[in-house]
Amino acid sequence: MAEVKFVNVIKEFEDEKKGKVRAVNNANFVVKDKEFLVFVGPSGCGKTTSLRMIAGLERQSSGDIFIGNRLVNKVHPKDRDIAMVFQDYALYPHMTIKENLAFGLKNLKTPKAEIEAKIKEAAAILSIENLLDRKPRELSGGQKQRIAVGRAIVRNPSVFLFDEPLSNLDAKLRVQMRVELSELHKRLGATVIYVTHDQVEAMTLGQRIVVMNGGEIQQIASPEELYENPNNMFVAGFIGSPPMNFIKARLDGNQLMTADYTLTVPVGLLDKYKAYQKEEVVLGIRPEDIISLNLLNHQPNHNVIEPTLKVVEHLGAELLFYFNIGEDQVTGRVGADAKLKSLSKVKLYINMEKMHLFDPNTQERI
Ligand code: ATP
């Protein structure tokens, strides 16, 4: 069992100028055995610090950390049954790849024959057999990345920790390595905890995702759940690209008054919004839920708006288009067959079945 658990974990750093900085504020979560869990959030949100506390490279200020039901607060990193893959790969430049792979095992006093067997197995899994006699400087970024993963595999840990392992690779290689890491996770059957600031990486790799901001966990959920039911405006704006649109509005009966248009709230949703009648709210609508009327078979009789598009961007199969509602800039996304043009007036249908409302003060989803 390689469950990882945080109970009321707080980490504070002493900063010369700012005094105490709380990098992680009261984190509670359980990473399930064999789960692929991704930490995602903007720079400085506390994700790397969380990972380093699991590894034992950073000691929490308070709270408890468990790995496989064992309290590890005082356990040395090398005794935690984890292996970490770093962003810069941290390979030893003067050693061959084979020596790099063997290094950790030699330190653990593993018998030579066993080291040989483990390196052979990892090399086969990662297709790096032909690189074993080279030095790190003779490898491409993608190959170095594979070696860094290989070094973790040979240790056969119960928990793999990845700190932005793909951020030094070009976009194409990143996509390829993403697929490889997913396959590797299935094959190894280990618990993986992975840190990234890239929401696409998080959505494609994570079985569940922890979204962090300012040291606080905002939401822990599956990719689908985060996308469909974000807890608050931060999660709604962070997950999805282009991000969800936020439009100031006022609720009155089943009418939602924005600066320029009155929209109709589906009857089924009204009950959950009843505490916000006659109140200011924020409408959240994703770009793909703003649909060009010329792509619809039926002509809806409400929730049609007719703005002038500021800009239309062609992305090949899709178009992104931008317009304003009051002061709020709105982005829409449609198939290229909609043939929208910049500076033209177009009819757009807002699919209010997919709407969200947020409290403008707390930023929580209503
Ligand atoms: P990034 O994506 O930029 O690596 P992150 O989400 O991983 O960001 P952390 O590295 O965990 O963020 O940092 C969280 C906060 O803690 C930041 O405000 C950072 O400045 C602070 N911090 C991290 N390490 C230290 C340290 N050793 N001393 C002082 N402050 C630190």
Residue where a domain terminates, one of 198, 220, 238: 238
Q: What is the ipTM of this complex?
A: 0.95
Do 192 and 286 belong to one domain? no
Of the chain, the percentage scoring pLDDT greater than 90 comes to 73
Strands (E), 181-264: 191-196, 208-213, 216-221, 245-252, 255-258, 262-264
| Ligand 1 atom, smallest distance to 51 CA | 11
Do 74 and 134 belong to one domain? yes
Residue 43 lies in a domain: yes
Residue 208 has pLDDT above 80, yes or no: yes
Report the SS3 class of residue 103. helix
Angstrom CA distances, 129 to 114, 154, 323, stand at 17, 14, 54
Is 197's C-beta closer than 6 angstroms to any atom of ligand 1?
A: yes
Residue 146's pLDDT is what? 86
Residue 273's pLDDT is what? 95
Do 15 and 81 belong to one domain? yes
The more confident residue out of 166 and 210 is 210
Pocket test for ligand 1, best of 6, 10, 47 (most atoms within 8 A of CB): 47
Do 56 and 119 belong to one domain? yes
What is the rounded average pLDDT for all residues in the chain?
Answer: 92
Query: Between the ranges 47-56, 175-184, 295-304, where is the mean pLDDT highest?
Result: 47-56
Residue 364 lies in a domain: no
Residue 123 lies in a domain: yes
20 and 14 Cβ atoms separated by less than 8 Å: yes
Rounded mean pLDDT of 203-210?
Answer: 95
Which uninterrupted H or E stretch holds 184?
helix 171-188
Do 44 and 104 belong to one domain? yes
Do 104 and 251 belong to one domain? no
Do 203 and 322 belong to one domain? no
The 10s digit of each residue's pLDDT in 105-134 is 888 888 999 999 999 988 888 888 899 999
Number of helical H runs and strand E runs in the chain: 9, 21
Do 340 and 303 belong to one domain? yes
Distance 23 CA to ligand 1 centre (A): 6
What is the domain range of residue 278?
245-358
CATH label of the domain that carries residue 112: 3.40.50.300
Do 327 and 183 belong to one domain? no
Which residue is closest in CA terms to ligand 1's atom 1? 43
| Ligand 1 atom, smallest distance to 11 CA | 16
Is 21's C-beta closer than 6 angstroms to any atom of ligand 1?
A: yes
Is 23's C-beta closer than 6 angstroms to any atom of ligand 1?
A: yes
Residue 192's pLDDT is what? 95
What pTM does this model have?
0.91
Is 27's C-beta closer than 6 angstroms to any atom of ligand 1?
A: no
